[in-house]
Chain A
Amino acid sequence: MAHSPDYDTIIVGGGFFGCCLAVHLKQALGRRVVVLEMESELLRRASYVNQARVHNGYHYPRSLLTALRCRVNFPRFVEDYSDCIVKDFDKYYAIGTTFSKVTASQYLRFFERVGSPLGPAPKEVKRLFNADLIEDVFAATEYVFDAVKLAQIMRHRLAEAGVEIRFSTEAQKVHRVEGSLLEVTCAAPDGACTVTAPSVLNCTYSRLNQLLVASGLPKLYLKYELTECAFIEPPDELKHLGITVMCGPFFSIMPFPPLGLHNMTHVRYTPHCEWWDKADGSYRDPYEYCRVARKKSNQICMIKDIARYLPCMSKCRYVDSIWDIKVVLPKSEVDDSRPVLYRSDCGLPNLTCLMGGKIDNIYDIIEHEDASYAQGTA
């Protein structure tokens, strides 16, 4: 009894990475692709609940590779998704004095080496900072993206490419049927259904292990953090600025275009708690935890601490917070690097798990995907 597959590739998760890969596989490689998304829209979780920063490397003064990759990917991303890129603000990076892991001169020298331009900040911007706590301030080139517009772009591109999307469809299990065929069992609005394909891409970010665990497959070793993204109406002085203080227990205030507000995150107060998936032992569904976790905002702590560095921030108005689960690969805890996870054959042949911490990681993933595809067909 020969069973012909429904698709060539099933993509689990309609976040930014899942969508991009779907378009790429369809357009560049002509594969029949379906995207399974549990929400009723694209890009609703990690792609949205995040700083909308398009990294240009400035965030990683202690990892040359990450900083370099960011600088290479930055112009590509800005060009490829220009409709959702917001540039109408000035971006400054400030270096803290006492608790910083880098000094201002190291920071400057590092980005000279990386090739990312840093300029001096104008006097009126420097004056906003408490000179006792901030060593120096630099002007940087960095933009943000509008996640809602990006979702529209992706929806449009998926439609253009003719990729099928199934909304409100949660991929629950994957198992091997005959030969090398994989079958994904889904919960959809109209009941359970199955789809089959020779390969499955798991792009569910914090929920990577959910699919693996439910399918009885070995887990990946990941660390989770419950994170709070706070939204504020900044004081007038900061309306057209984006500010990040490096490199330690500091903070970032960036425009968040979908809401017309600023997004406030703090290294110390944005993560509320953390846990690890151990190779053995119990497993906790991150989405479920995010749903039931007690969400007592740390916004007061954030504002109090930030106002020490930027006194005008005591005038900001807190609006709301959004919460989600962040995933950290154990490696990047040690050194500040942000590697991309690309693991093929996760317990089953052609079941691939991939994950990246930054939106521009997509280029690294696509290059890797092409390479492994070429290897597979060779």
Chain B
Amino acid sequence: MMARSDCFVSVTAPLYNDGDIVEAYIEDVLGVLKREYANYELVLVDDGSTDDTVERVTALLEKLECIRLIRLSRRFGQETAVSAGLDTVIGDFVVVMIPDRDPPELIPRIVEQCRKGLGIVFGIRRHRRDEPLFLRIGARAFYWYLNRILKVNLPRNSTDFRVFSRQALNAMIRIKDRLRYLRAFCAYVGYGNESFTYDLAHRREKPRVKGLGEAMRTGARMIVANSTHPLRMVSVLGLTMSFVSLLHIGYVILVYLFDKDVVPGWATRSMHSSVMFLFMFLILSTLCEYVGRLLGEVKDRPLYYVLEERNSTVLLADEDRKNVVTETTED
């Protein structure tokens, strides 16, 4: 057996209504960590679950060591829950993973890759075959737009499964943007950004899939938070339309001056107004997005609130002296 590595590894995972899989997940992760590392911790962030996730984890805290459970005060969303975890982990290397689909067996390999690299290693899923068609097409369009047009370097099919060195993590957690999007933050801070390809290992027979609406919302927010490209596009569009409008005015003046019998052109007029309104509202709606974003960023309120923290409390006697523990009863 290989000697256990002496670096401190933290694993953090967000939980939301994961009562059905959380026990198996914890056991798998701790099995790997215990085998490979002398020092480790598993930080679970409960994102306001409404099922028995917290009870199940709490029961395990008395049996298994090195687990911490951070409970957020309500549901803040997966990305924020991950941020809360990253704010409190203490390891030299920190692994972020999503419990229901990222395989714990890969942890040693990717931590090793991160150790040799510059600071960030992220996962790329081999395929999206397990997703419905609309998501696959949407994802393709999204990544194309992001990478080609917006020049945000977000590798296609990258997942949240990733490893940070302490240095890279410290850089990351200084980003205080309200809108959390871990993958984009990673791209922004740099530190190597190496990737590894893997197959998702779903713990549920029917994996949870994002709805189309949620996927589009995330996509839109993501674009707005990371690029001013759409804003620039509409300003260009606005300028073009103003120019067209200017030409039209010139045309009207010329007609007025040189054509003696002007027929009142209702069709042209209404055509003109409606085209202008179309673009005006397009521009306005984009501006709204940005104004909303600015408002969100300007509000200086905490990203999340912690309800409580629970830690492992395992009664353990020295194995060779186990028999001497006195357990007397009252009577």
- Residues on A lying within 8 angstroms of B by beta carbon are 98-99, 132, 213, 219, 248-249, 268, 271-275, 280-285, 288-289, 291-294, 300-301, 304-305, 308
* Set of chain A residues within 8 Å of B39, measured between Cβ atoms: 300-301
Beyond A99-B306, A268-B68, A304-B90, whether A292 also contacts B318 by CB under 8 A is: yes
CA–CA, A213 to B327, complex, Å? 11
* Set of chain A residues within 8 Å of B8, measured between Cβ atoms: 300-301, 304
CA–CA, A230 to B316, complex, Å? 19
CA–CA, A288 to B174, complex, Å? 47
Q: Is the CB of B325 within 8 A of A292?
A: yes
Q: Is the CB of A293 within 8 A of B317?
A: yes
Taking the closest CB of chain B, its distance from the CB of A18, in whole angstroms, is 24
Q: Which of B91, B173, B319, B329 contacts A282 (CB 8 A)?
A: B329
Does B322 interact with chain A (Cβ within 8 Å)? Answer: yes
The residue on A at minimum CB distance from B306 is: A99
Taking the closest CB of chain B, its distance from the CB of A69, in whole angstroms, is 27
Taking the closest CB of chain B, its distance from the CB of A347, in whole angstroms, is 12
Q: Is the CB of B87 within 8 A of A98?
A: yes
CA–CA, A142 to B317, complex, Å? 37
Q: Which of A274, A275, A281, A292 contacts B321 (CB 8 A)?
A: A292
Does B302 interact with chain A (Cβ within 8 Å)? Answer: yes
* Set of chain A residues within 8 Å of B311, measured between Cβ atoms: 268
CA–CA, A301 to B92, complex, Å? 11
15 other A-B residue contacts (CB within 8 Å) besides A273-B313, A292-B321, A292-B324: A98-B87, A98-B88, A132-B173, A132-B174, A219-B330, A248-B309, A268-B311, A272-B313, A282-B327, A282-B328, A292-B318, A293-B316, A293-B318, A301-B39, A304-B8
* Set of chain A residues within 8 Å of B174, measured between Cβ atoms: 132
Q: Is the CB of B88 within 8 A of A99?
A: yes
CA–CA, A272 to B326, complex, Å? 19
The residue on B at minimum CB distance from A305 is: B90
Taking the closest CB of chain B, its distance from the CB of A278, in whole angstroms, is 9
Q: Is the CB of B316 within 8 A of A294?
A: yes
CA–CA, A300 to B50, complex, Å? 35
* Set of chain B residues within 8 Å of A285, measured between Cβ atoms: 326, 328
Taking the closest CB of chain A, its distance from the CB of B11, in whole angstroms, is 14
Which residues of chain B from 273 to 309 have any CB-CB distance to chain A below 8 Å in the complex? 302, 306, 309
Taking the closest CB of chain B, its distance from the CB of A102, in whole angstroms, is 13
Beyond A99-B306, A273-B314, whether A308 also contacts B325 by CB under 8 A is: no
Taking the closest CB of chain B, its distance from the CB of A301, in whole angstroms, is 6
Q: Is the CB of B315 within 8 A of A283?
A: no
CA–CA, A285 to B329, complex, Å? 11
Q: Is the CB of B309 within 8 A of A288?
A: no
Q: Is the CB of A289 within 8 A of B325?
A: yes
CA–CA, A67 to B322, complex, Å? 42
Does B100 interact with chain A (Cβ within 8 Å)? Answer: no
* Set of chain A residues within 8 Å of B319, measured between Cβ atoms: 294
Does B41 interact with chain A (Cβ within 8 Å)? Answer: yes
CA–CA, A132 to B88, complex, Å? 12
* Set of chain B residues within 8 Å of A249, measured between Cβ atoms: 88, 309
* Set of chain B residues within 8 Å of A283, measured between Cβ atoms: 327-330
CA–CA, A274 to B311, complex, Å? 11
If over half of B's interface residues share one DSSP class (helix, strand or loop), that class is named, otherwise mixed; here it is: mixed
* Set of chain A residues within 8 Å of B327, measured between Cβ atoms: 282-284
CA–CA, A171 to B287, complex, Å? 80
Taking the closest CB of chain B, its distance from the CB of A294, in whole angstroms, is 4
* Set of chain B residues within 8 Å of A304, measured between Cβ atoms: 8, 90-92
Q: Which of A132, A274, A284, A301 contacts B41 (CB 8 A)?
A: A301
The residue on A at minimum CB distance from B39 is: A300
Taking the closest CB of chain A, its distance from the CB of B165, in whole angstroms, is 13
Which residues of chain B from 79 to 93 have any CB-CB distance to chain A below 8 Å in the complex? 87-88, 90-92
Offer 18 A-B interface pairs, CB within 8 angstroms, sorted by A.
A99-B306, A99-B309, A132-B173, A213-B328, A268-B311, A272-B313, A273-B316, A282-B328, A283-B329, A284-B325, A288-B325, A288-B326, A293-B315, A293-B317, A294-B316, A300-B39, A301-B90, A304-B91
* Set of chain B residues within 8 Å of A98, measured between Cβ atoms: 87-88, 302, 306
* Set of chain B residues within 8 Å of A300, measured between Cβ atoms: 8, 39
The residue on A at minimum CB distance from B83 is: A98
CA–CA, A230 to B68, complex, Å? 21
CA–CA, A205 to B311, complex, Å? 25
The residue on A at minimum CB distance from B331 is: A216
CA–CA, A285 to B330, complex, Å? 12
Q: Is the CB of B313 within 8 A of A271?
A: yes
CA–CA, A305 to B91, complex, Å? 8
The residue on B at minimum CB distance from A280 is: B330
CA–CA, A88 to B139, complex, Å? 64
7 smallest beta-carbon distances between A and B, as pairs: A304-B90, A294-B316, A305-B90, A273-B313, A292-B317, A292-B321, A274-B313
Taking the closest CB of chain B, its distance from the CB of A183, in whole angstroms, is 21
Beyond A99-B88, A268-B68, whether A294 also contacts B313 by CB under 8 A is: no
CA–CA, A281 to B331, complex, Å? 9
The residue on B at minimum CB distance from A101 is: B306
Which residues of chain B from 46 to 103 have any CB-CB distance to chain A below 8 Å in the complex? 68, 87-88, 90-92
Taking the closest CB of chain A, its distance from the CB of B16, in whole angstroms, is 20
Taking the closest CB of chain A, its distance from the CB of B84, in whole angstroms, is 8
* Set of chain B residues within 8 Å of A288, measured between Cβ atoms: 324-326
Taking the closest CB of chain B, its distance from the CB of A328, in whole angstroms, is 13
Taking the closest CB of chain B, its distance from the CB of A164, in whole angstroms, is 30
The residue on B at minimum CB distance from A294 is: B316
CA–CA, A318 to B315, complex, Å? 25
CA–CA, A308 to B309, complex, Å? 18
